[in-house]
Amino acid sequence: MLGYIGLFGSLALLIYLTMKGVNLLISAPLTALLAGLTNGLAFFPQTALDEQANFLTSYMNGFTGFVGSWYLMFMAGAIFGKVMEDTGAADSVSKWIVDKIGVKYAVFAVVLAAAVLTYGGVSVFIVAFSVYPMAISLFKQANFPRRFIPAALGLGSVTFTMTSAGSPEIQNWIPIPYLGTTPYAGWEVSAIVALIMATIGCLWLNWMVKRAVGKGEEFITRSTDPVIDELKALPNPLLSMIPLLVVLVISFIFHDSLGTSALIVALTGGCLAGYAVNFKFAKAVGATLAAGAMGAVVAIANTAAVVGFGGVVKATPSFLATVDVITSIPGSPLIGGAVSIAVIAGLTGSASGGQTIAMPLLAPHYIDMGVDTEALHRTIAIASGSLDSLPHGGYVVTTISSVCGEKHKDAYLPFGALTVIIPIIGTVLAIALFSLGM
């Protein structure tokens, strides 16, 4: 019993501290330690029995494993964002959008930009870096509260795009070897669910922004924001879109052969294209590169701290027992699979982590039951993108704190509404449609 209290209590404490703005580099390892000690994990590897997990190794394997896998991509993404900002490309594109479709559609423009990059193969962790400079410019011109920017980025990245049929994101690919499906599994239902999720999400976000504006909220400029000089010449907006297209095209072309490493090539190409088409508008190149690199270090450290927490959680006996229980839920395989994936993703703060842990256990059991593998694939993919967006989730921390510089207490409510509730609605809808024979 103590182990379960420690497991779920540490998660609740981490969420509470995150919402209170406590630095994750402190709160994540401390709450992970609580989970480890209450579950009988040794602190050091030297004091652990043979084959026994220990806190230090479990935490640091999660932390360093994430840094090792993602640092170069985080750095390339952060630098690309700074290049778009410092060359004036982000301001130029955002001004063009405002002039063409009107300032009241600024929110939809941010969602669309994030969605296109995500479905084009750019990792959800990197999309925020790429779109944020344009989002800042759009929200400033529209005078919308900046605390809704993370919600717009999240809606475009981790809801109707990340887990849809055909998406190149890893959350859509993990089930394939376990179920023998393809990335397009259940595409008919997926298309309907994605359209409904996008529609509800956009309308809800727009309502929240208008409601906040009606209460007197407005865009608050920070000293770190790029300054829009109305008298200063901006680069051509169509040329300024070329770096984004370069990232999208290169990522799409090399995704199958290079996997996530294609992002390094794509983002580097985007940076080079940004300077090639708008070099005369660029600020000091060295300062831009340095600022992007430092931003990447902060972002990946915060995210890795949470991943380390997940590493300790996964090593605890109470977590393993919990996985056994929820992966054995009786009844419809679609419901059982969705609940299992969502809960494990919530505990680990990762949609891909939840799938990786649960799929080896779920797939053989449900296949033996004669489940429609395409329906199961699509259901668990959508479900994985729900509870992974609780306040402590890796993507949540990166987007809200590291990229957008917002506090959870200000930005998480709209963010959570769109990235937790909307995917839950999508999951329920998918189960209903598959159950009706679609």
202 Cβ neighbours under 8 A, 6+ residues apart: 107, 108, 111, 155
Listing DSSP states for 158-194 in one string gives HTTTTTSTT--SHHHHTHHHHHT--TTTTHHHHHHHH
Give the model's pLDDT for residue 231: 53
Long-range contacts of 57-63 (CB under 8 A, 24+ apart): 58/311, 58/312, 58/314, 58/315, 59/29, 59/32, 59/308, 59/309, 59/311, 59/312, 60/308, 61/311, 62/304, 62/307, 62/308, 62/309, 62/310, 62/311, 62/312, 63/304, 63/305, 63/307, 63/308, 63/311
Closest CA to 251 of 234, 263, 259, 239: 263
Give the model's pLDDT for residue 92: 82
Q: Domain ranges for the chain, please list them.
A: 2-43+53-216+234-435
Give the model's pLDDT for residue 226: 61
Q: pLDDT tens digits for the chain (438 residues)?
A: 788 898 889 989 998 998 888 888 899 899 999 999 999 888 888 887 777 888 989 999 989 988 888 888 888 888 888 888 888 887 787 778 777 777 788 899 899 888 887 887 677 777 887 788 888 988 988 899 999 999 999 999 899 998 888 887 878 888 888 898 888 899 999 999 999 999 999 999 999 999 999 999 999 988 777 655 555 677 888 888 888 888 888 877 887 788 767 878 888 998 999 899 888 888 788 888 888 888 888 878 887 888 888 889 888 898 888 877 877 777 788 998 899 889 888 888 888 878 887 888 788 888 888 889 999 999 999 999 999 899 988 789 889 988 898 999 999 999 999 999 999 999 999 999 999 877
Compute the distance between CA of residue 420 and CA of residue 358 in angstroms, rounded to an integer. Answer: 19
Amino acid type, 68: G
Q: Tell me the whole-structure pTM to 2 decimals.
A: 0.81
